[in-house]
Structure 1
Amino acid sequence: MSYEMIALLMFASMMLLLATGQRVFAAIGFVASAAALLLYGPGAIELPFNQVFKLFNWYAMLTLPMFIYMGYILAEAGIAEDLYKMLHVWFGRFTGGLAVGTIFLMVIISAMNGLSVAGMAIGATIALPEMIRRGYDKVLISGVVQGGSSLGILIPPSVVLVLYGMIARQPVSKLWFAGVIPGLLMATLFIIYIVIRARLNPKLAPTVSDEELNMPFREKLALARAGIIPFAIFFFMTGLFVFGYTSLVESSAVGATAATIAAIAKGRFDWKLIRNTSMQTLSVSCMFMWLILAALAFGAVFDGLGAVKAVENLFIRQWDLSPWTVIIMMQLSFIVMGMFLDDTAMLVIVAPLYIPLVKVLDLGFDNQLIWYGVLYTITCQIAYITPPFGYNLFLMRSLAPKEITLIDIYRSIWPFATIMALTIALVMIFPELALWLPEHMNVKG
């Protein structure tokens, strides 16, 4: 049997196991281990163990539980809720102001957590009921929360970019900086869309009455003080990192410590909070570690077969496709897979093939793997909200008030998915959007 057929059989076996409902890391790890044993004999039993040590030697791995813990403790302690109340006062007088404030909230939560789940939970349970009560259109605000929460996997500290960096062997700090400008650009486009819709049809997003916003100065001061805490944590954490005082891992420890101190200062640090936060942090961190381990093992076997060289020869030499055509095909395949799989599953499945291929393509600029990490992450954002099986669609339905139906949720996502696709196009046309900042920032690793 040729190496190409073996690689195709591995990929088909993996997809078959995933179709049966097996856990992603189990399916991929089983195929990798079985293929290694069949191809290389009993000595290949060491392959998974070698990948474990490779994973544990990856120092940036320590950032995962730190940032996940930081985001969860801020959410569990109610600090994110205080922040939304402050944004409600600031933006309530403007047409569409609460929706715009929700986008700001999502950007800040993204900068504290790195996952879309936390932003979705906070937006659906805090922002949605408030906007519905004030007469906001259900379809508009459903899209706002879904689109805004997806920013968590692009704006630093993005856990998905940490995962990509580990698999692609790229500096996580550069990937984070690469995501800043595209992430803020996307958030800006979301806000522009909301403002235009609200101006064209004010009934979609009415302003909040003066009676609700008028409050004693002492209350406004207390509200501002409570809302400033997340800003202070974020700027303290990233400031030390950007100016070179702390490394990436040290910065994550600073953020986790600062979030704990904030919860203590708010008087909300108790045994229940510790237990819930620890369980959630452990669950998400272990999931990512198993996925990375499975991807490393699968990639070692897959690349050892020469599968990447075979695909490169097929696309570039036999089919004579241009490098940009190959990139577009890869992006389209991600979007199709995103209708059925989550972001980590997509990356783990195709990383052994796509990442080496991107590395050898001649796109005309340096740091192609850093740039592609941003493209992949934005595509994951589209996958999160794309029917029929977008993860955020069902999470939104489980968290949203009963007034919002699944049909409302499906209708709401298309303008935001279009904006995400536009952002991908802009990053492809202007690679500097993703590469300028990491090339000009000098930070500790």
Structure 2
Amino acid sequence: MNVRAAKKLRPLACAVFVLTIAAGCSPRPNDGSQDDKAAEPASAASGKVTLKMMENLTNPQRTAILKDMIASFEEEHPNIRVDLISPPFDQADETIGTMLAAKVQLDVVEVRDVNIADYVSKDYIEPLDAYAATWHDFATVANIPRSVGMVKDKLYFIANGLYERQLYYRKDWFDQLHLTPPATWQELYETAAKLTDPANNRYGFSFRGAKGGNSVYDTMIRTYNGERMKVDDGAFLVDGTTIYSSPEARQALDLFTRLYQDASPPESLYFGFEEQVNAFTSGQTAILLQDSDVIQTLQAKMKPGVWATAPMPTGPSGKALITVGAAGWGIPVQSSHKDEAWKLIAYLSSPQQNIELGKKYGLVPIHTLAASDPFFMTGPYQPLIEMTNNPATYIYYRLPIGYPSYLGWEKESRTTIQEMLLGRATIEETLAKWDAFWKEQQRLMQ
């Protein structure tokens, strides 16, 4: 078998391996005398159903929380058993996509805002509108979590929490130099440069150049474009051109380049989420831009008073363009137990369970009932409330998740930005590629 063929088969092999492990190593009693296929009819005959549930944003802490919630669900629904499959984070997108394409039996799958349009275009997941219409808790689901789970006015997943970005900084370092948290991107660069001391392995900014790194330079470019942004389509300006075609995009990407060159660990060009966060918690870097789910990690690894939070930086216009990301539970079209799958989703998405998940894992809950909870209005969460309550400065926009190729954008931009930062392409060449990418996506949608 040649290398190319082996690479094509690897995702399917990984998917089958994950499913086999999940089915064969269940912690619940099994007489071991028959495999899953043989056990299914007996289960159905006895009125019991086994749901295969697969998470995407796998994290040991969150997985443990989910297992506790699932155990409570099973106590309330003794005829439903849930097998939670937790693929490695870096392989989850590929594994889930392969399993959905192969119609492997799954009943509940974690869908992300970045892949929902792709899943819908390939007919991988069911619309949930009919279920939501009879779900009494849907009345308190806020507008943003509703919108992120929709494509063409149909609902495809119920968000399990919102990922909203803010600035985290080493308060001890800042106090030593009598610095204040940066309010603008320019100030962020200048402050990070002041805090950088390569001889002592100290850097001002916790850079992320691997998977997910586009969240920083895309945010900068959108913020520098300011109110010219088309807020319901984050890849374009109100005049119909892409956000990468403007002079402001050139200015933002130049500052981003200097932020890496002058204030970030050289090896951070290849940092992913864990490396980026570890650099901050270990004392290598001073400023971190991350979603609120990182709060639990910082609290566990850092002493109180060492770090603090602040709102996202603004651009030259005094505005900050910010967005809210989400992932949540959907039902694959091949599920044999859709009604039972919805019961599980409704249970996990109830105000009680969802707010508990938010508190334990650091997500912003999807229900409006959480807005009055002191837990989310004080301490490290306070800047999130501050940004929400100041829409004149902090302008929310929608990621261009409606384009089926949005998931491919992260890979495309990651490759080109690394080439640029390594000196193999200019800023102008990089922006031209990005502009062409989104023009093509726009053409395909017409």
| Alignment TM-score, normalising by the size of structure 1 | 0.28
Q: Which has the higher helix share?
A: 1
Q: Which has the higher strand share?
A: 2
| Alignment TM-score, normalising by the size of structure 2 | 0.28
